[in-house]
Amino acid sequence: MSGKNSELVDALVNLEEKRVLEMVLKHLDAGKPARKILNDLKKGMDMVGEKYSSKVYFLSDLVMAAEIFKLAMDLIEPKLEISKEREMGTIVIGTVKGDLHDIGKNIMVALLKNDGFTVYDLGTDVPPEDFIRVVKREKAQVLGLSGILTMAVEPMKETVEVLKKEGLRNKVKVIIGGLPVDEKWREIVGADAFTQDAYEGLRIIKGFLGVK
Amino acid sequence: MGKSTSTEEAMTPLERINAAMDLKEPDRVPVAPLLDTFPARVAGITLAEYLFDFEKFEKAYEETYLKIGKVDMIDVAPMGLMYFDPFPGMFSTFYFEWYLPGRELPPDRMAEINEHSRENPIMDENGYDLIINEGLYRFFNFKRGSLLDIAKIPEFGMKSVMLKAKWMEKYQAPPMLEGQVAAPYDLLNKLRGTTNFLLDLHRRPEKIIEACDWMVDGLIAIALYMIEMAGAEYILCGSGGLSADFVSPKTFEKFGLPYLKKVLHAVKDKVKRIQCHFDTNWTPLLEYLRELPSKKCYLHLDERTDIFKAKEILGDHMCLFGNLKPSLLSFGTPKEVEKEVKKIIDGCAEGGGLIVSAEVPDDAKFENVKAIVDTTKKYGVYRR
């Protein structure tokens, strides 16, 4: 990365909530295009991600950055031209039945939205049929199943089986996520990939969809 | 490590545990899986029965204890007791939204805590002031438990004291836990919901400190009272919300360490041992744990923490307890379990200070749990 970052980028990277929101409002008042503000925010989020990967930042910092980003987006979204430059892809995501943990999943959702993906977040304790219904309705390309309880492996597996039964398995990539998931889980569930980390998850999903 | 030939062991479980926790070499490495609700599966009873029916718990636990091969620490009371703690313990259904089998859940579904969405926490951001001004009892509610439940505690308590004595005589194995103590930040974390709490660390850090400062003496008083009432000698302090999976070491140093230290040092002389049940990733924080009471505390780690690093940093300070991966017990094979147990023993047994353990999930395979015990007993013998 070269050159100086804008003040807005720096404020986001430093997790200065008030300053970011003030600056977004100031920029909007001054007539700066929403798209340009959004680019700064994205750049800031990318840098937060780098800090997280290099262990300078931790989960709480990521949660804070995602929160600031969301609040800033609420301000600029009404002024943002809807036309998307490109279709990134559609993802259905949720924490599987019997599990209520959602921090990692929520960060995953924030990162995916930040990158322009269309995300259907079904929340927690989601039964297999609900996942499949939304996957079908929205013609999603990726299904993200989250969970951290050992017993989450069963509903994950069940969801993939329903996907198969519906004849959708070869059309939809499945990624499972959560602190304890590993290759063994992936195998048992019959998913295409697993991740313990939202940023890695983002890279994997981009790989699925062939976008950068 | 060598092979044991005799079936009669040289030490009793209690002697073995004491040696390991005093950082001396026992006859062999102790083994003490946290069986949680696994015995319900072995005995074929429901989780509701296992949690709330003392006699069924006792029978199921003893059956499992004998079937997997006698282990070195033992549970003396069903978990059900802790869910109706009228004091603000981590498992108290009067403070936190625990869903219990046979109550909110079908009798055979595991207890779960609702960690709460952003929008609907038990305590909103003004709650810190409420705690500071009115106390933690502000959040006590009867939504999921009743006075009747609380009234059962003395009976459960008496029975567990008797069971401890009975099993101590029969098996000479010390209890895993008889009481608990909590650090204030972990309770705040549960009241606010993890996401909100992580945001609060950025948005209102001074409020968190103020509330923790206010809460800590009360929590110590509660712990001391419980220890005395129950005659508890082996207690547990669970913590996880400020590990490196969530916050930076600097954040732990400010919001976590001072309170953990204060709480543990305040109770250490009243009990025999304290299980520091520290889940998630503590690897970057191990150095800080040297400030916790040496030998009195033993450190339960799950697989997120590097136990070999822990041996390096804490080997002369506190006994390690862990750290097989729970999912290995559900999805792995006895061969794989054996390999992992040997790895832990090879890396951490030297000089004592190791107890092989794992949190046994509900759906663990019986042969995998047995493999933990068999491998440790065979492979963990110290050469004389």
- CATH code where residue A75 lies: 1.10.1240.10
A97 and A196 in one domain? yes
Q: What is the pTM of this model?
A: 0.90
| pLDDT score recorded for residue B384 | 63
Chain segment B251-301, per-residue pLDDT in tens = 999 999 999 999 999 999 999 999 999 999 999 999 999 999 999 999 999
Contact A63 B198 (CB under 8 A): yes
Q: Please, which residues have CB within 8 angstroms of residue A3's CB and are 6 or more apart in sequence?
A: none
In the predicted model, is pLDDT for residue B61 greater than 70?
A: yes
B254 near A CB under 8 A: no
The secondary structure of B118-151 as a DSSP string is SS--SS-TTHHHHHHHH-GGGG---SS--HHHHH
A35 and A126 in one domain? no
- State which residue of chain A sits closest to B248, comparing Cα positions: A58
Chain segment B158-191, per-residue pLDDT in tens = 999 999 999 999 999 999 989 899 999 999 999 9
B117 near A CB under 8 A: yes
Chain segment A155-204, per-residue pLDDT in tens = 999 999 999 999 999 999 999 999 889 998 999 999 999 999 888 999 99
- Chain B residues touching residue A150 (CB < 8 angstroms): 326-327, 330, 361-363
- State which residue of chain A sits closest to B195, comparing Cα positions: A103
Q: Is A85 within a domain?
A: no
Q: Is A84 within a domain?
A: no
Domain around A25 = 7-79
One CATH from 3.90.600.10, 3.20.20.210, 1.20.1050.10, 3.40.50.2300 for B13-379:
3.20.20.210
Assign A107 to helix, strand or coil: helix
- Domain with residue A174: its CATH number is 3.40.50.280
Contact B331 A184 (CB under 8 A): yes
A198 and A95 in one domain? yes
Mean pLDDT of chain B: 93
Give the whole-number percent of chain B exceeding pLDDT 90: 77
Q: Which of A79, A100, A121 is the last residue of a domain?
A: A79
| Contact predicate B128/B204, CB 8 Å | yes
- CA dist A120 to A64, A94, A110, B76, B274, Å? 22, 8, 11, 46, 45
Segment B306-333 mean pLDDT: 96
- Chain B residues touching residue A58 (CB < 8 angstroms): 244-248, 251
Give the whole-number percent of chain B exceeding pLDDT 70: 97
Strand-pair category, A142-146 with A118-121 = unpaired
In the predicted model, is pLDDT for residue A84 greater than 60?
A: no
Contact A64 B251 (CB under 8 A): no
Contact B327 A103 (CB under 8 A): no
A75 and A107 in one domain? no
Residue B177 neighbours by CB distance under 10 Å: 22
| pLDDT score recorded for residue B117 | 62
Contact B247 A59 (CB under 8 A): yes
Mean pLDDT of chain A: 90
A109 near B CB under 8 A: no
Residue type, B57: F
- Chain B residues touching residue A123 (CB < 8 angstroms): 117
Task: For chain B, give every domain's residue range.
Answer: 13-379
A199 and A108 in one domain? yes
- State which residue of chain B sits closest to A182, comparing Cα positions: B327
Segment B320-333 mean pLDDT: 95
The whole-angstrom separation of Cα B310 and Cα B307 is 5
A15, A52, A57, A59: best to mutate for the B interface, most B CBs within 10 A? A59
Listed residue (A101, A184, A110) closest to A145, CA to CA: A101
A56 and A148 in one domain? no
**How many domains are there within chain A?**
2
Assign A72 to helix, strand or coil: helix
In the predicted model, is pLDDT for residue A3 greater than 70?
A: no
The whole-angstrom separation of Cα A41 and Cα A53 is 18
Cis amide linkage into residue B323, ω under 30° from 0: yes
| pLDDT score recorded for residue B4 | 46
Chain segment A24-38, per-residue pLDDT in tens = 999 999 999 888 898
Range B133-138, long-range pairs (CB < 8 A, 24+ positions): B135/B218, B136/B88, B136/B95, B136/B187, B136/B215, B136/B218, B137/B88
Segment B236-259 mean pLDDT: 95
- CA dist B362 to A170, B46, B348, B371, Å? 33, 11, 27, 16
Edge-first strand order for the sheet with A118-121 is A118-121, A90-95, A142-146, A173-177, A193-195
- Chain B residues touching residue A57 (CB < 8 angstroms): 248
The angle that helices A17-29 and A34-53 make with each other, rounded to 10 degrees, is 160
What tokens were used for B123?
Answer: 């305590």
Beta-strand (E) ranges in chain B?
98-99, 112-113, 179-180, 234-239, 273-278, 297-301, 319-323, 354-357
The whole-angstrom separation of Cα B239 and Cα B220 is 15
- State which residue of chain A sits closest to B117, comparing Cα positions: A102
pLDDT bin (cut points 50, 70, 90) of residue B342 is very high
The secondary structure of B161-225 as a DSSP string is HHHHHHHHHHH---BS-SEE---HHHHHHHHH-HHHHHHHHHH-HHHHHHHHHHHHHHHHHHHHH
In the predicted model, is pLDDT for residue B5 greater than 60?
A: no
Chain segment B11-21, per-residue pLDDT in tens = 999 999 999 99
Question: Phi and psi at residue B185, in whole multiples of 5°?
Answer: -65, -30
The torsion defined by the Cα of B267, B269, B272 and B275, in degrees rounded to 10, comes to 30
The whole-angstrom separation of Cα B101 and Cα B76 is 20
A71 near B CB under 8 A: no
DSSP classification of residue A6: P
- Chain B residues touching residue A98 (CB < 8 angstroms): 109, 112
Chain segment B62-107, per-residue pLDDT in tens = 999 999 999 999 999 998 888 998 888 888 999 988 999 999 899 9
A129 and A44 in one domain? no
Q: Is A65 within a domain?
A: yes
A94 and A48 in one domain? no
What tokens were used for A176?
Answer: 């499972």
Surface-to-core class of residue A167, CB atoms within 10 Å of its CB (0-12 exposed, 13-18 middle, 19+ buried): exposed
Phi-psi region of B172 (alpha: psi -120 to 50; beta: other; left: phi over 0): left
A102 and A68 in one domain? no
- Chain A residues touching residue B112 (CB < 8 angstroms): 98, 100
B122 near A CB under 8 A: no
B204 near A CB under 8 A: no
A94 and A65 in one domain? no
Contact B115 A100 (CB under 8 A): yes
A75 and A24 in one domain? yes
- Chain A residues touching residue B242 (CB < 8 angstroms): none
Residue A3 neighbours by CB distance under 10 Å: 5
The whole-angstrom separation of Cα B232 and Cα B179 is 6
Q: Is A138 within a domain?
A: yes
A203 and A120 in one domain? yes
A49-60 exposure pattern, b = at least 16 Cβ within 10 A, e = fewer: bebbeeeebbbb
The C-alpha of B353 sits at a distance from chain A's nearest C-alpha, in angstroms, of 26
| pLDDT score recorded for residue B7 | 58
pLDDT bin (cut points 50, 70, 90) of residue A86 is low
| pLDDT score recorded for residue A1 | 43
Question: What is the ipTM metric for this complex?
Answer: 0.89
Contact B246 A59 (CB under 8 A): yes
The whole-angstrom separation of Cα A67 and Cα B130 is 25
